[in-house]
Amino acid sequence: MPLASIPSPSQGVWHLGVVPIRAYALCIVLGVIVAVIMGERRWRARGGAPGTIVDLAVWAVPFGLVGGRLYHVITDWQLYFGPDAPNEPIEALFIWNGGLGIWGAVALGALGVWFGCRSRGISLSAVADTVAPGIAVAQAIGRWGNYFNQELFGRPTDLPWGLEIDPDRPGTVPGEATYHPTFLYESIWDLGLALVLIWAGRRFALRHGRVFALYVAGYTVGRFWIEGLRVDTAHHIFGLRLNQWTSVILFVAALVYFWYAGRKTGEESVGVTPELALEGAGGVDPAHPSDEADDAEKAGDAREDDRPEGRAEPADVTSEPAGVTSELAPGGAGAVDPAHPSDQADEAEKAEKAGTPGASREEIAVRTAAEGEKERP
């Protein structure tokens, strides 16, 4: 008998009236919520528009659930369609009973994200790098659904953290009460992987899908040895379980892509935020663009362009010369009335200046007129 052990929950389903509340489903939903929140924060920090990851999750979640279930049913078809299948064929649709293949979920979920990225004009690789740590955390949370369902445990062990499993559960060994808590191993591994991804992405400025490739490589390493502890029914090829072979292939593919993507230097599109759009337009108020400027502004600019180069702006005709007042101007030397220039002075004034002293203006005017008659032919 082990000195200590981890007890399994007595039930994994609760009923709210006639509505069943399943722990497995709650763990999946909680994992998705945490992944979206983490992705949103990382996407905004990268310069993307708020709400982008939420919108992409609308594509990713349903695609991922279908893909995960398909992978499980295809790789474990004998559980539903074999001659001695323990489940009815219709139960292949009962996702709440457990059974989601991570690689099917990632593959089809990525297809859904690709559709969303195309519609928004953003880079799929940038999104993949952003959500990779969140996916690892979501898996860490989702694995606790296996704990409530008492499934996917490892071989028997007497370690103090051995997991107690009911003797009537599939995969149990007669006479054994505790098994390796593979759900816990993978949950801890995934949390550690998420921290490594966040650190590596910042430390080495990984871009172009390299963080996601690192996630795939890191997860497959952990999944390979954890899968080797499990005792549930699985297909074996050359002594290894099918999921172990899948892990080996994906690990190699991730390393190849990680090396290949390191040679990329182009920019990845994260879309256009309102702030970037305003900055790209030169800071122009979108409510008052330059091509709709006020008519007065346009007219002023036209006058500036029509003025000859080097010509000064004409002075205000109502202003007076500096240092001269309207009272002093008439009395100054050589002052001329602008309305009565000297070259057009009255003949009477000319005669007055040259005439006999003491003569009146009338006499001078008569004399001037007489002289003018004499000069006329």
Is residue 174 one of the residues assigned to a domain? yes
Is residue 157 one of the residues assigned to a domain? yes
**Number of independent structural domains in the chain:** 1
| Per-residue pLDDT, 83 | 82
Instruction: Determine how β-strand 178-179 pairs with β-strand 163-164.
Output: antiparallel
- CA–CA separation, 339 and 353 (whole Å): 20
Is residue 146 one of the residues assigned to a domain? yes
169 labelled binding-site residue:
no
Is residue 289 one of the residues assigned to a domain? no
The DSSP bridge partners found for residue 16 are: 19
The kind and range of the H/E element at 241 are: strand 240-241
- CA–CA separation, 122 and 138 (whole Å): 24
| Per-residue pLDDT, 264 | 92
Mind listing the pLDDT tens digit of every residue in the chain (377 residues)? Answer: 577 899 999 899 999 998 999 999 999 999 999 999 999 999 999 999 999 999 999 999 999 999 999 999 998 888 898 788 888 899 888 887 778 888 899 999 999 999 999 999 999 999 999 999 999 999 999 999 999 999 999 999 999 999 999 998 988 999 999 999 999 999 999 999 999 999 999 999 999 999 999 999 999 999 999 999 998 888 899 999 999 999 999 999 999 999 999 999 899 999 865 555 445 444 444 444 444 445 545 555 555 555 555 555 554 444 444 444 444 444 444 445 555 555 555 554 554 555 455 555 556 565 666 665 555 55
What tens digit of pLDDT does each residue of 184-236 get?
999 999 999 999 999 999 999 999 999 999 999 999 999 999 999 998 888 89
Of 37, 46, 101, nearest to 273 (Cα)? 46
9 DSSP assignment: P
Is residue 324 one of the residues assigned to a domain? no
Contact 183, 161 (CB under 8 A): no
Amino acid at 111: L
Domain that holds residue 202: 13-269
Is residue 30 one of the residues assigned to a domain? yes
Is residue 330 one of the residues assigned to a domain? no
Is residue 140 one of the residues assigned to a domain? yes
Kindly report the number of other CB atoms within 10 A of residue 135's CB atom.
29
Phi, psi of 178 (to 5 degrees): -125, 145
Of 147, 148, 135, nearest to 33 (Cα)? 135
Contact 24, 98 (CB under 8 A): yes
- Rounded to two decimals, the pTM is 0.71
| Per-residue pLDDT, 77 | 87
- CA–CA separation, 143 and 108 (whole Å): 20
